[in-house]
Amino acid sequence: MQRKAAGAAGTRGRSPVTPGRRVLAKYGETLLAALAKLGVHSDFDLVLHLPLRYDDETRLYPIAAAPSGSSVLVEGTLVDSSVKYRPKRQLVCTIEDESGVLVMRLLNFYPSQAKQLVPGARVRLYGEIRQGFFGAEMVHPKCRLVSEHAPVPDTLTPIYPTTAGLSQTALSRMVHDAIAACDLRDTLPPDLLRRLKLPDFRLCIDYLHHPPRGAPQAGLQERSHPTWRRMKFDELLAQQLSMRIHRERRQTLAAPALAPRDALTHALVSQLPFQLTGAQDRAAAEIRADLAKPHPMQRLLQGDVGSGKTIVAALGALQALENGYQVAVMAPTEILGEQHFNKFSGWLTGLGVKVVWLAGNMKRKDRRVTLAEVASGAAQVVIGTHALFQDEVEFHNLGLAIVDEQHRFGVRQRLALRLKGSDAGAGVQPHQLMMSATPIPRTLAMSYYADLDVSVIDELPPGRTPVATRLVSDTRRDEVIQRVRDACVAGSQAYWVCPLIEEAEAEQGAADGVPAKPAASAAKRMRGRLEALQLQSVLDTYERLRATFPELSVGLVHGRLTGAEKFAVMEAFKSGAVQLLVATTVIEVGVDVPNASLMVIENAERMGLAQLHQLRGRVGRGAAKSACILLYQSPLSPFARDRLKIVFETNDGFEIARHDLRMRGPGELLGARQSGVPMLRFADVSVDLDLVEAARDVAGQILSLHPEVARRHLERWLGGKEHYLRV
């Protein structure tokens, strides 16, 4: 019946037969839409739609000898079948064989099933036997009619990831047809496979879709079986090849060669109230060398919270300025952008450099003036948010684009800013420096940043005192309140941070392994409700704390405030007019108030590792001893307990990032849902380091010695999807 339905669907709105879609061309729009939800867009995608798990229907047990506690296959004759109400409507059948009797209960069933399951029919059941009120029973097992002495399968039964409207039967048939239709000859040379001890590709595909009787299910489930390792390696190799090709292509593009002139650089360094660290000097030298080349720099500057990335970026900006080019600095939030504007202005204005601010909420007159200065070149350093890459913004001669917290921007946004270069139409692009305060673990950098040059600031400036982290249950709130009062009365300042509800819910879903994907309209409505709840939550907290601390000046900042309102509150906090700042996570990055020495994070169990570490980095920026109190609600889930324990035990952002990769995967760390980076389906960079290293080494060899092998391999795994490459 399912086959008939699938075939009927395939007669309406069939897609044209194109290479790589001969199997999919047989199906209609409804089934194709369901497959698209699973990421299946070609026949080869079906081949790579590997099972989640397997049912072992290769051994037939007598009813009396079948073990309980695991799914088993039994067969018998149906001796009784009736619809009963206890209390809900259900189909209850009694099956017997030579050894015993078993009751089967179907809680949901079709009338056609009730007609088929009649006394005398021979049935085969697959499910877990449990002891019920009337003895041994199976509830909702897999059930089918069979003839006597029907053969038992000699392979495990695959269970595929699926979606509504797509049955396991239909999906299995599609996969079978795709395997028969696709060319599965190996793309890699035999000597390479022998050297890496990798099995043949076609054998792996057959094994993974239909493992033989007795196959080690644990290795298949954990993806450690040799066949799984082959899939992972091939996927990683395709990623490495694409990244390396993109890197080589970048070397064919032109960029302004910005020779080091150093007059402004020496002037700035001489007036700084601090000395650059060795790591800052090293990173600045790497950027200086890249900017002098006639090819676009694409360098990622990463470092822990407070490591001093901004001054290194400013030194790179001066090199562009001394060569007569403009610099753009783009930040994901107005608070962070304004922080950069204040720092760059303070450092560069005295050197005769004109620094301007450009944001979407500027007054029309001010915006018109600023746009004219940018277009004429009078504005030398332009700092702003997403407004920088809008169509009306025209640079005179953009030589360097600096993107802070780059993972928060989409791939099109970063590309749009780069294309505003001095002569993008002629293939001349500005250099690009990306910054991230979320340290990238080594395996992640090797995999997803293989096409970039990476500079790491791995030491903090001298004099920075580590922030003491405290885990405090909400039942001890009175003690926390007293600590805040004591700190502020003594002349210090404090933050009280409320969590973002939508982030908490999304993370909990990911932790439970249930990534929810509501429809766009439903997601928008849900987002609106959550934002309203969040706003009410932070407003309630603000009013409660104002009443609790009548002797203190309490400020409030959240995402719904206008840019001017946020700026006014933050300026009051920086000046000391506000002693306690109640805030959402909009202060996660870009806030630098040295006098603030205490932070309380409410409902810390809802936040992610990187976010907690970023928030904690807002204190400890002065000479005073600082503390971050993680206020949590009991009871804690094991996932939340593990997360808080990690933040409590280490201040090392790289160590925290490593744990974050293990717990949440690369998607969250990279912002990969909007980055344009192809996410890995099979490999896990947190555990497959040896395969990442092998793929990295092999990619270079194949490109130089066997370019045709590289072409075939990329065609198989990426299908010419050039948009996967980082821009």
pLDDT tens readout for residues 238-268: 989 988 888 888 888 899 999 999 899 999 9
Residue 714 lies in a domain: no
Q: How many CB atoms are closer than 10 A to CB 202?
A: 14
- By DSSP bridging, strand 298-303 and strand 355-358 are unpaired
> How high is the mean pLDDT of the chain?
85
333 and 353 fall within a common domain: yes
CA nearest to 287, candidates 319, 331, 248:
319
Q: Is the dihedral of CA 290, 280, 282, 701 positive or negative?
A: negative
3-state per-residue secondary structure call for 330-362: ECCCHHHHHHHHHHHHHHHHHHCCCEEEECCCC
Buried b (16+ CB within 10 A) or exposed e, 486-515: ebbeeebbbbbbbbbbebbebbeebeeeee
Distances from the Cα of 457 to the Cα of 59, 278, 281, 478, 589, angstroms: 59, 9, 9, 40, 17
Q: Name the stretches of the chain with pLDDT < 70.
A: 1-19, 406-427, 463, 500-535, 588-590, 664-679, 720-727
390 and 451 fall within a common domain: yes
Residue 325 lies in a domain: yes
Tokens of 164: 């509504």
Q: Please report which helix (H) or strand (E) contains residue 543, including its range.
A: helix 520-548
Residue 621 lies in a domain: yes
Left, alpha or beta for 72 (phi > 0: left; psi -120 to 50: alpha)? beta
CA nearest to 462, candidates 641, 626, 276:
276
Q: Are 46 and 172 in contact (CB under 8 A)?
A: no
Domain closes at, from 632, 650, 668 = 650
Please give the pLDDT value at position 271: 92
| Domain extent for 475 | 468-513+524-650
Q: Could you tell me what percentage of the chain is helix, strand and coil, using 3-state DSSP and rounding each to the nearest 5?
A: 45, 20, 35
110 and 195 fall within a common domain: no
308 and 186 fall within a common domain: no
Q: How far apart are CA 722 and CA 539, in angstroms?
A: 47
What CATH code is carried by the domain that includes residue 364?
Answer: 3.40.50.300
What CATH code is carried by the domain that includes residue 82?
Answer: 2.40.50.140
Domain closes at, from 617, 650, 683 = 650
SS3 category, 100:
coil
Distances from the Cα of 47 to the Cα of 41, 170, 175, 177, 185, angstroms: 11, 14, 6, 9, 13
Q: Long-range contact list for 284-288, CB < 8 A, 24+ apart?
A: 284/312, 284/315, 284/316, 286/453, 286/455, 287/312, 287/315, 287/316, 287/319, 287/433, 287/455, 288/260, 288/315, 288/316, 288/319
Q: How far apart are CA 520 and CA 527, in angstroms?
A: 10
Q: How far apart are CA 510 and CA 507, in angstroms?
A: 5
Tell me how far apart the 2 most distant CA atoms of the chain are, in Å: 97
182 and 302 fall within a common domain: no
**Backbone angles phi and psi of 499, in degrees to 5:** -80, 160
Q: Which residues pair with 470 in a beta bridge?
A: 629
Residue 689 lies in a domain: no
**pTM (2 d.p.):** 0.74
Q: How far apart are CA 119 and CA 79, in angstroms?
A: 5
Cα angle, residue 405 at apex, residues 399 and 410 outer, rounded to 5°: 80
Residue 674 lies in a domain: no
476 and 445 fall within a common domain: no
Kindly state the DSSP code that residue 549 receives in the 8-state scheme.
Answer: -
Q: How large is the C-alpha radius of gyration of the chain?
A: 31
Tokens of 454: 């990476």
Q: How far apart are CA 429 and CA 254, in angstroms?
A: 6
CA nearest to 234, candidates 713, 700, 725, 721:
713
Please give the pLDDT value at position 727: 39
267 and 413 fall within a common domain: yes
DSSP for 570-587, written as a single string: HHHHHHTS-SEEEE-GGG
For the chain, the domain total comes to 4
Q: How many CB atoms are closer than 10 A to CB 308?
A: 20
Distances from the Cα of 365 to the Cα of 350, 379, 389, 617, angstroms: 26, 16, 19, 37
30 and 175 fall within a common domain: yes
Q: How far apart are CA 304 and CA 302, in angstroms?
A: 7
Residue 381 lies in a domain: yes
Q: How far apart are CA 361 and CA 334, in angstroms?
A: 10
Q: How far apart are CA 601 and CA 613, in angstroms?
A: 11
Residues 6+ apart with CB under 8 A from 291: 258, 260, 297, 316, 319, 320, 400, 431
285 and 374 fall within a common domain: yes
303 and 431 fall within a common domain: yes
Residue 365 lies in a domain: yes
Write down the residue that tokens 């076609």 correspond to: 202
536 and 560 fall within a common domain: yes
447 and 491 fall within a common domain: no
Exposure of 365 in the CB half-sphere (CA atoms within 13 A): 0
Q: How far apart are CA 420 and CA 393, in angstroms?
A: 8
Domain closes at, from 125, 152, 179 = 152
Residue 250 lies in a domain: no
